[in-house]
A and B are shown apart, each in its own frame.
Chain A
Amino acid sequence: MPKPKVGFYDLTGCQGCLLSVIFNENEILDMLSKIDVKEFRFIMDEKYSGKLDVCFVEGTVVNKEDEKVLGKLRERSKILVALGACACHGNIPALRNFADEKKLDYLKYEKKHEQMQDMEKPMPIAKFVNVDYSIPGCPPDRDEIKKFIKEILLGKEFRNYSDPVCRECRLFENGCLIDDGQICLGPLTKGGCHAVCTTNGFKCYGCRGVTDDANFEGYFRLLEEKGKTDVQIKKHMETFAGIEINEKLKDTEWQQLH
């Protein structure tokens, strides 16, 4: 089998996701010997404009330029992969969807504002093109990136880790932050991150997106019992996967909360 032609690209993001690919330092050479990397600006100068078997896209679409770049990548690629929370759920850049526009007035005095103005609603890439696979997370888990590449090489269909963060959190025998009165999104959020935040005492912000089976009602009830207000919970949830959560909760009071 010829090596698959693979490209790594970024839209608006911090490039942490691309670093997560490289941070597989122990296996990076083995990995690169199995795939034919055509473009990856962190490790090579070459530009490439031909067809790709697998195209990884990092970042959020925040302006028309991003949208155009993404459209072209889609046309050239057999398999398009959303890499990281920005590409998968809009992440921090998409917070603008929930911001009070008046509070952003000050940006008018910044040069950047003109660029941003042509798209008021930064969105995950699946809003613009068909996405074949997602590898969520901020940053994505390097083991999951490796697993994805191996499964593609084997011709298998990649399946994301679908259990909640709580699974790994409990197996590592952590204390539970919800019990300690914090807003932890663990029960609603897809794990596979080795519960890296909660294990280090940080509450989960939901960067890997919502599980198929999240019980929002039960969750709100639980946190309200712990004295959290809807608005506090909403603000917390909007941080990483706000767009996705917003869609799952459309037609509920959630939309009206400020």
Chain B
Amino acid sequence: MFVRCLYSTEQTKTKCLKINAVQQKLMQQFLLKKGDFSKFVNTAIKDSDFVAPVEGSREKQNTRPFFREISSADEIYLGRKSYYTVKGFFFRENEKIFGFNGNKIINPESELKDTIYFGLRRCDLNGIYHQDIVFLDENEDPFYKARRDASLLIGYHCREGDDYCFCNSMELVDFFDLMFYDKGENYAVETGSEKGNSFVKKYSKFFTKADNAVSDEDRKTVNRKKLNTADIKDDYDNDDWKKGSDICVSCGACNFLCMNCHCFDFEDDVEFDLKAGSRIRKPASCQLRSFTRVAGNHVFRNERNARFKHRIYHQLQYFRERHNVQFCTGCGRCIEGCPVRIDWVEIINEMKK
């Protein structure tokens, strides 16, 4: 996958990641007529599963945009960023890791179809990049890998963020197979990987080569919100964190809505014969007390304040110290989805005043 630094001229601190002359050559640009968009999507749907953001659905008691598998281009909603991320497709509730029967281990069979993920924002794509670091680079997770191998990531560039986005404050990278930019009558489309290039070749009747289709101006996003600094290493003992943790109701929404959060728990389930069963993986949340409970019912981060700080420190410090990549992608979903709207970005901005 192609990774390139975007804002290096503006953000002096940004380090360009894995810039690679060979990969640079890979990048190609095209135009796709908006009038052909539906036809293009409906053709692609015939060949692969197609996941895209939709506006919300009454049956699910959910009027917030979320990702689902669609069967027609009409369902796609690009009006604003999705409230729920695409994460659930890669990292599922109750994933069977293996089955067992007595001493015998039974690996779950997977029937994976090639899947196109369309309409991913830059924050989503960077979140996937971070999940890759955890589930591919650090330790290869076969379930995650299989789903990633079968995936094609198509981005949709934001011209403007909503009230919660602050992606420009974070050091994001370019990470996509294809990226769509809205150019009025057309979409400008940029490829970022071999996979992206062969995809365009496969559907070449919809794409016209256009070498300067995407300008630096196109790549910018306007944010209303800003995190003044992500450097909080000396602020751990600051009392201001309590402004957030005192009113936090420990619901975990901030973690479950975050594209980066990847923590999980295991549970074993046995059949009534007490011989056969399976090991199940479930998403966990560091804001919940169960997260740091260990044998003997000891809880490491019993205080809500310690849990709250752990989340922010993982998002801004720990991951960067370990992997040299900014973890939080500035999507603001953890603020929008928090029932209390705890705005940790403002807490930090004020703390640093």
Q: Which residues of A contact B (CB under 8 A)?
A: 27, 30-31, 33-34, 146-147, 150, 153-154, 162-164, 166-168, 170-176, 178-179, 186-188, 198-201, 211-215, 217-219, 221-222
Contact = CB atoms under 8 A, between A and B. Distances in A.
A83 to B, nearest CB: 19
A215 B248 contact: yes
Residue picked from B56, B66, B271, B288, most chain A C-beta under 10 Å? B288
B252 A167 contact: yes
Q: What's the dominant secondary structure at chain A's contact region? A: helix
Contacts of A178: 339
B322 to A, nearest CB: 27
A175 B289 contact: no
Contacts of A211: 250, 289
Given A162-B289, A213-B250, A175 B339 contact: no
Contacts of B337: 170, 176
Interface stretch (B57-65, B218-226, B229-237): B57-65
A33 B269 CA distance: 18
Contacts of B269: 147
A171 B257 CA distance: 9
A221 B62 contact: no
Contact of B249 (A31, A171, A219): A219
6 contacts: A147-B269, A163-B290, A164-B288, A166-B252, A173-B62, A221-B247
A187 B62 contact: no
B270 interface: yes
Given A30-B272, A176-B253, 17 more contacts: A30-B271, A33-B272, A34-B274, A150-B274, A163-B290, A164-B250, A171-B93, A172-B60, A172-B93, A173-B88, A175-B56, A176-B337, A199-B60, A212-B289, A214-B249, A218-B248, A222-B339
Nearest to B297: A159
Nearest to A162: B290
Contacts of B274: 34, 150, 153-154
Given A163-B290, A221-B247, A170 B304 contact: no
B273 interface: yes
Contacts of A153: 274
Interface string B276-317: 000000010100111000000000000010000000000000
B289 to A, nearest CB: 4
A175 B63 contact: yes
A205 B257 CA distance: 24
Contacts of A214: 249-250
B339 A187 contact: yes
A175 B290 contact: no
A166 B84 contact: no
Contacts of A176: 253, 337, 339
Interface string B241-269: 00000111111110011000000000001
A170 B250 contact: no
B272 A150 contact: yes
Nearest to B64: A175
B61 A175 contact: yes
B289 A199 contact: no
Residue picked from A146, A147, A187, A198, most chain B C-beta under 10 Å? A187
Given A175-B62, A211-B289, A154 B84 contact: no
Given A33-B272, A222-B249, A170 B256 contact: yes
Residue picked from A34, A150, A167, A198, most chain B C-beta under 10 Å? A167
B146 interface: no
Contacts of B271: 30
Contact of B247 (A31, A173, A175, A222): A222
B340 interface: yes
A180 to B, nearest CB: 9
Residue picked from B66, B88, B256, most chain A C-beta under 10 Å? B256
A173 B84 contact: yes
A137 to B, nearest CB: 18
B42 to A, nearest CB: 25
Contacts of B270: 150, 154
Nearest to A226: B339
Nearest to B247: A218
A44 B289 CA distance: 42
A162 B272 CA distance: 24
Contacts of B285: 163, 167
B272 A31 contact: yes
